[in-house]
Structure 1
Amino acid sequence: MNLVSDNGTQFADQHIQKWLKELIVTQTFTSVAHPQGNGEAERANRTIVGGIKKRLANHKSGWVDQLPHVLWAIRTHRNTSNAETPFSLTYGTEAMIPAKVGVPSQRVTLPEDNDAERRLDLMLLEERRELAAIREQNYKRQLQKYYNTKVKICEVSAGDYVLRNNEASIAHAQGKLAPSWEGPY
């Protein structure tokens, strides 16, 4: 497991380092000023900002009031890649919307059964996470297979003329109007 945190002293303390080592957790530091250094943080921020923009429409103020709703939507939305919600992979059970709490259901009316069910869910949580990881690997393999069918194999033999990508060789000055290819070679 990996823990990503900023460079704050509360996260770099030797007591925390010892505790993380006991839990077999690796810690990665990222700069808050440069979230682009961490692709996961950048992707999560883009998702949150996109959700806030959709909820606010043309109004620019009031985004703070909408943030909990957007985070709830992200945490309870079923991922395509692993068919699980982030909430269920964290707590072992699906989230219950606030409107359903007041509606009589087995989950609400039988708290002793609910407690036993939650304990069982937590015991099976690691297995649920492993199954989600397997489904995610299968999904990635299917995507890779799909995109690889679009690749055209181009065989090059000695004596053929080829072009080289200018970004790789930097033979010409970089810029918006610089040539993309150089050659032939």
Structure 2
Amino acid sequence: MRALRPDLAVIAANVAPGSRVLDIGCGDGALMAALQSERQCDARGMELDPDNVAECVGKGLSVMQGDADSDLAAYPDAAFDYAILSQTLQTTKRPDQVLDELMRVGRKAFVSFPNFAHWKVRASLLWNGRMPVTRLLPIAWYETPNIHHVTVRDFRELVAAKGLKVEGAWFLSGDARIGDAAAAWRAEHAVFLLSR
């Protein structure tokens, strides 16, 4: 099995073995496959892109085509031990409402996202006056699926406003984990584990 993307590896390492998991925006199913084979989880997926759904089904993964903005309402309360939203929050129409649904269907939720306050993003805006194109944000502003530019501080404020508990937070610069110190501008990606 190929190596997981760094944020997915953090999530996989911190999901309790044998858990029921819903991976929203599961992409090609790499995290689900790892959770099934390495953590013996009952992993289900939801994915918007029909090509990714077909790829997942071709791998024998349980995936349905759906939209995080509207289709989470079909799941019952506390149906999963973990609801996972990796690199998808910033693409939703109403991230605040999607977070509510994550916390409703899952007892805990993992959320990972690109930090749009990373120093390279800030420098590109300051010095070039342009939205950056980087290794981790490789698409021009007019092609990107990102419609909300979330930062570590923005997300922490949303979590606090909703009265959620942060059980864990991991920060990534490139493919390496970094500490919490100055993560607001040093982290390219963030991963949070939340509970009520």
User: Normalising TM by the smaller chain, what interval?
Assistant: under 0.3
TM-score normalised according to structure 2 size: 0.25
TM-score normalised according to structure 1 size: 0.26
Structure with greater proportional strand content: 2
Larger of the two Rg values belongs to structure: 1
Structure with greater proportional helix content: 1
